[in-house]
Structure 1
Amino acid sequence: MLKTIGFTCFSILCFFYAMAQERLPVTDSIHAKYHSETNPVTQCNTLYEIGTSYLKSNIDSSLTAFKQLEACAKKLNNDTLRIKSFLGLGKAYTDKSKLDSAQSYFDDAERLIDAIQAKRFKKILYINRGILFFYKTRYTEASGEFEKALAIAIQDNDMDTQSRCYNNIAICKTYLGAFEAALKMHMESVKIAEKQQDSLSLAKSYNNIGLIYIDLKEFKKAEPYFLEALEIKKQVGSTVDIVGGYLNLGVNQRNLGVTYDDSVKLSEARHYFQEALRLSEAGGYTNGRNNAYVNLALVENSLEQYKTAITYGKRALEASIQAKDVNKEMAARINLGDSYRLDKQFALAREQLNQGYELAKASENLYVQKEVLHILSLLNSDQNKFKPALEYYKLFQTINDSIASSEVKNKVNELEAQYQTERKEKEIQRQRADIAEKELILNTKNTQLTGLIVLLGVLAILGYLVYKQQKLKHTQLIRENELKEALVKIETQNKLHEQRLRISRDLHDNIGAQLTFIISAIENLQYGFKTKNEKLTVKLEGISGFAKETISELRDTIWAMNKSAISLEDLQIRILNFMDKAKVALRDIHFEFDLDASLNRDVTFNSVKGMNIYRIIQEALNNALKHAKAKSIVVSVRKVDEGLKIEISDDGKGFDLNEMNPGNGIRNMRKRAEECHTELVVNSSAGKGTNISFII
Structure 2
Amino acid sequence: MKWISTILVFFLLMTNQLAYSQNSVIDSLKRELVRSRGKDRFNILFDLFRKNLETNYDSALYYSTLAVSQARQNGDSLSIVKAHNANGWVRMRLGISLCIPDFEYALEIAKRNNYKEQVKFLLNNLAISHNDFANYDKALDYHFQSLQFRQEEGNPLDISIAMNNIGLVYSNLQDYENALSYFIQCKDLKEQNGIDHDLDRAYINIALAYFNLGNYDEALNNVSKVLSICESACKDEVLVEAHYALAKISMKKKAINKAREELNTTIQIARRIGSRMYESQALHLRAVLQLEENDPSEALEFLNKSQAVLEGTNLRDQILNNYLLYVSIYNNMDDYQSASEYQQKYIELNKEIFSGDLIRNISRIQTEHEERENIKTIAAKDQVLALQQEVITRQKEQYAFIITITFLTLGLAFVMYRANQSQRKINQELALAKATIQSQNKMLSEANLQLEHEVEERTRELVVSNESLVKVNDEMDNFIYKTSHDIRGPLASLKGICNVAMMDVKDEAALDYLSKLDTSAAKLNAILSRLLIINQINHSILSPEYINFESQIEEILELERKKEMPSKIKISYQVQPDLKFRSDKEMAKIILENLIDNAIKFHNDSARVDPFVRVEIGTEGEWVSVKVIDNGIGIEKDSKNKIFQLFVRASERSDSGGIGLYLSKLATLKLGGSIDVTTSSEGYTVFKVLFPPDLIPIIAQRKEDELKREKHKQKVLKVS
TM-score in terms of structure 2 length = 0.48
- Greater C-alpha radius of gyration: 2
